Structure 1
Amino acid sequence: MALLAAVLVWAVLRPRGLPEAVLAVPAAGLAVAVGVISPDHAWEEIQRLGPVVGFLAAVLVLAHFCDVEGLFTACGAWMARWAAGRPARLLTAVFALASVITAVLSLDATVVLLTPVVLATATRLGVQARPHLYACAHLSNTASLLLPVSNLTNLLAFTASGLSFTRFAALMALPWLVAIGAEYLVFRRFFDEELTAPLPSPDPARPPELPLFALITVGCTLAGFVVASALGIAPAWAALAGALVLAVRALLRRRATPLTVVRSAAPAFLAFVLALGVVVRAVVDHGLADALHRVLPDGSGLLTLLGVAALAAVLANIVTTPRRPGAAAADRGAGPGAVLAVLLGVNIGPNLTYAGSLATLLWRRIVQQHGHRVGVGEFTRLGLLAVPAALVPAVVALWLSLRVVGG
Structure 2
Amino acid sequence: MSVLRGKKIILGITGGIAAYKTANLVRLFIKAGAQVQVIMTPASLDFITPLTLSTLSKNPVYSTFFDEENGSKWNNHVDIGLWGDLMVIAPATANTLSKMANGTCDNLVLATYLSAKCPVYFAPAMDLDMYKHPSTIQSFNTLSQFGNIMIPAESGELASGLSGEGRMAEPENIVAFLEADLSKSLPLRGKKILITAGPTYESIDPVRFIGNHSSGKMGYDLANEASNLGAEVTLISGPTALSVNNDLIKVVPVVSAQEMYDHCMEWYEKMDVVIAAAAVADYRPKTTANHKIKKSEDTFSIELEKTKDILAAIGETKKNQFLIGFALETENEIENAKLKIQKKNLDLIVLNSLQDAGAGFGGTTNKVTFIDKNFNIEPKELKLKEEVAIDILNKVIKHYHA
- TM bucket (normalised to shorter chain) is under 0.3
Greater relative CO (CA pairs within 8 A, separation 6+): 1
Greater share of helix: 1
Greater share of strand: 2
